[in-house]
């Protein structure tokens, strides 16, 4: 298909000439910074919820990548295993057929979920999207061969391609998908996800720009990688796809066909598609590298990389808003409790709750673009920076990578301030506790000294605690004198003759 060549939209040098170019202010690296940065890595549950691929695709997951040959939409399970078909009621003049399966929820019919049909006053009936099947969907069994009357409360089911009722064949004449057939190993190779091999660790913000292949799959056409701390470009290059491209998605990618053609001619692009680009990324990114970005799962997906060590500014913002919502819900419950404590009735409290819900709904409907969670909205709101403002020139993947990096840096800086405040609070508490302990010990020592000074001498006549040295000396001296007197008396008695002693004893008896 011929297409008009668009002029080049890229003004900065790319390829080898871009390496080392300073695109952001450096960030001081430290152990504390890396510790806090790694705390922002999502859990496995969060990564899976965010659409990250954490293991090679299973056969059923590979089969889900199969698309229809005619509409390029993903085939549902029922389409890959066609069931016996039946004639589609009146009006199917071309003999088109449809499956007789009544499982509208799982079939390719993209079953409706209860929308309405309205009339705009001009005689034209507008069908809500939720009541519309895909152009290759399968109608429900009960809808075949009849027009459903909306006036009776039933909503008509129509084809999305031509708005005909499902009892009539769609304009394509194919009510069921026709799955694309692939040569052996082609589908597996194209969707083979591989883990990051071992290389020196670092931290790198990345951003990829994608175009659409002829099968409407996203395909890598530009890859930008910068060093988180130095702010210098590690890699910024166009990537030549190995599959046919329908368009370059220039409005968003900022890449035109002429850009890619010129890069091939000057040999400044990566040849070999996403596999070659992935090898270039591995020169800077290892299994321990923290990859930073906004909606990083999309970038890793087009590179077919399994890399769980990521910090995603989108996931961070989702967490912040989730916590804010939970806090608001707790506040509503707290106020409800206060209202009941004040004696308000149930009806009055529930009326207030309904008013809060209406106010929340009003805020949601009047949400401004800058209140969104896109990279552009967050950069404007949190960084005061306008990005992706090139109009038809599209996005700049380096600019996007820098914005995602600065958003994450803003979060880490906030965490560092909180840690500092917490550290200072703990130090103040420890200092206060130490001072109180010292004052307590001092008071206890003073109390003991007062008690010791006030204690009287003991009951045995011994000296008190304050005169213990003098009392001991006098007691020893008195004891020695008594012992000396006893010895003298004993010697005098032993020196008298026995007859004299007897006479003295006898006289004493008389």
Q: Which two tokens stand for residue 280?
A: 């270039």
3-state secondary structure of 303: helix
pLDDT tens digits, one per residue of 127-158:
444 444 455 444 444 444 444 444 444 455 66
Three-state secondary structure readout of 217-282: CEEEEEEEEECCCCCEEEEEEEEECCCCEEECCHHHHCCCHHHHHHHHHCCCCEECHHHHHHHHHH
Same-domain check for residues 175 and 288: no
Residue 226 half-sphere exposure, CB side, CA atoms within 13 Å? 28
Residue 429 located in a structural domain: no
Same-domain check for residues 361 and 287: yes
Q: Does residue 271 surpass a pLDDT of 90?
A: yes
Domain of 280: which CATH number? 3.30.420.10
CB neighbour list of residue 202: distance below 8 Å, 6 or more residues apart: 227, 228, 284, 285, 286, 289
Residue 389 located in a structural domain: yes
Same-domain check for residues 362 and 256: yes
Residue 400 located in a structural domain: yes
151 lies in which domain range?
69-92+106-116+124-181
368 — pLDDT class (breaks 50, 70, 90): confident
Same-domain check for residues 133 and 48: no
Residue 229 located in a structural domain: yes
Same-domain check for residues 281 and 369: yes
Same-domain check for residues 53 and 77: no
Q: Does residue 353 surpass a pLDDT of 50?
A: yes
Dist CA 194 CA 307 (whole Å): 9
Same-domain check for residues 273 and 213: yes
pLDDT tens digits, one per residue of 155-209:
556 666 666 766 666 665 566 677 888 888 888 999 999 999 986 556 777 778 7
Let me know: does 159 contact 133? Beta carbons within 8 Å.
yes
The pLDDT value given to residue 11 = 61
Q: Which of 424, 453, 475 is the last residue of a domain?
A: 424
pLDDT tens digits, one per residue of 281-304:
999 999 999 999 999 999 999 999
Residue 449 located in a structural domain: no
The pLDDT value given to residue 116 = 35
Same-domain check for residues 257 and 362: yes
Q: Which of 424, 453, 484 is the last residue of a domain?
A: 424
Same-domain check for residues 200 and 146: no
Residue 501 located in a structural domain: no
76 — pLDDT class (breaks 50, 70, 90): low
Specify the pTM.
0.67
113 — pLDDT class (breaks 50, 70, 90): very low
Mean pLDDT to the nearest integer, 6-19: 68
Residue 495 located in a structural domain: no
Residue 445 located in a structural domain: no
Average pLDDT value for the chain: 76
Same-domain check for residues 158 and 220: no
CA 449 to chain centre: 62
The pLDDT value given to residue 104 = 32
Same-domain check for residues 300 and 396: yes
**Angle at 211 (CA atoms; ends 205, 216), nearest 5 degrees:** 125
Dist CA 311 CA 23 (whole Å): 20
Dist CA 139 CA 176 (whole Å): 10
The pLDDT value given to residue 472 = 63
Dist CA 87 CA 8 (whole Å): 53
Same-domain check for residues 315 and 176: no
Q: Does residue 338 surpass a pLDDT of 50?
A: yes
Q: Which of 365, 396, 424 is the last residue of a domain?
A: 424
**Following DSSP, what letter does each residue of 307-357 receive, concatenated?**
---EEEHHHHHHHHHHHHHHHHHHHHHHHHHHHHHTT--HHHHHHHHHHHH
Q: Which of 28-32, 281-285, 313-317, 459-463 has the lowest mean pLDDT?
A: 459-463
For the chain, how many structural domains are there in total? 2
């Amino acid at each position: 298909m011929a297409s008009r060549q668009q002029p080049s939209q890229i003004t900065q040098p790319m390829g080898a000439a871009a390496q080392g170019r300073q695109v952001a202010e450096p960030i001081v690296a430290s152990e504390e910074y890396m510790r806090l940065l790694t705390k922002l890595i999502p859990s496995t549950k969060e990564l899976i919820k965010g659409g990250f691929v954490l293991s090679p695709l299973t056969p059923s997951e590979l089969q889900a990548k199969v698309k229809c040959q005619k509409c390029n939409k993903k085939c549902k399970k029922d389409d890959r295993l066609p069931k016996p078909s039946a004639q589609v009621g009146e009006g199917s003049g071309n003999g088109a057929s449809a499956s007789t399966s009544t499982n509208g929820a799982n079939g390719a019919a993209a079953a409706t979920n209860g929308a309405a049909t309205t009339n705009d006053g001009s005689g034209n009936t507008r069908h809500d999207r939720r009541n519309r099947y895909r152009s290759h969907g399968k109608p429900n069994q009960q809808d075949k061969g009849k027009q459903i009357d909306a006036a009776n409360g039933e909503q008509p089911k129509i084809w999305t391609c031509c708005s005909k009722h499902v009892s009539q064949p769609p304009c394509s004449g194919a009510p069921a998908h026709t799955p694309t057939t692939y040569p052996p190993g082609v589908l597996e190779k194209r969707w083979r996800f591989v883990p990051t091999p071992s290389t020196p660790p670092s931290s790198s913000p990345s951003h990829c720009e994608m175009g659409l292949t002829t099968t409407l799959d996203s395909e890598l056409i530009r890859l930008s990688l910068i060093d988180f701390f130095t702010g210098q470009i590690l890699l910024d290059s166009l990537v030549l796809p190995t599959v046919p491209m329908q368009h370059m998605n220039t409005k968003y990618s900022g890449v035109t066909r002429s850009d890619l053609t010129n890069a091939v001619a000057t040999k400044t692009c990566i040849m070999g598609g996403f596999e070659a680009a992935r090898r270039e990324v591995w020169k800077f990114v290892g299994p321990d590298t923290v990859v930073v970005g906004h909606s990083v799962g999309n970038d890793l997906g087009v590179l077919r990389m399994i890399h769980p060590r990521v910090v995603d500014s989108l996931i961070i913002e989702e967490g912040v808003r989730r916590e804010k919502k939970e806090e608001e819900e707790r506040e509503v419950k707290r106020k409800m409790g206060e209202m009941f404590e004040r004696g308000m009735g149930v009806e009055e409290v529930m009326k207030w709750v309904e008013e809060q819900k209406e106010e929340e709904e009003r805020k949601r409907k009047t949400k401004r673009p800058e209140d969104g969670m896109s990279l552009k909205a967050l950069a404007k709101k949190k960084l005061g920076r306008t990005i992706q403002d090139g109009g038809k020139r599209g996005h700049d993947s380096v600019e996007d990578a820098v914005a995602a990096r600065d958003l994450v840096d803003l979060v880490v800086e906030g965490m560092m301030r909180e840690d500092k405040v917490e550290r200072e609070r703990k130090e103040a508490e420890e200092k206060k506790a130490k001072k109180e302990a010292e004052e307590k010990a001092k008071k206890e020592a003073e109390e003991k000294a007062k008690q010791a000074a006030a204690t009287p001498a003991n009951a045995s006549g011994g000296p008190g605690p304050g005169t213990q040295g003098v009392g001991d000396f006098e007691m020893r001296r008195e004891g020695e004198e008594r012992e000396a007197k006893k010895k003298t008396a004993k010697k005098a008695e032993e020196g008298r003759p026995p007859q004299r002693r007897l006479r003295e004893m006898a006289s004493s008896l008389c």
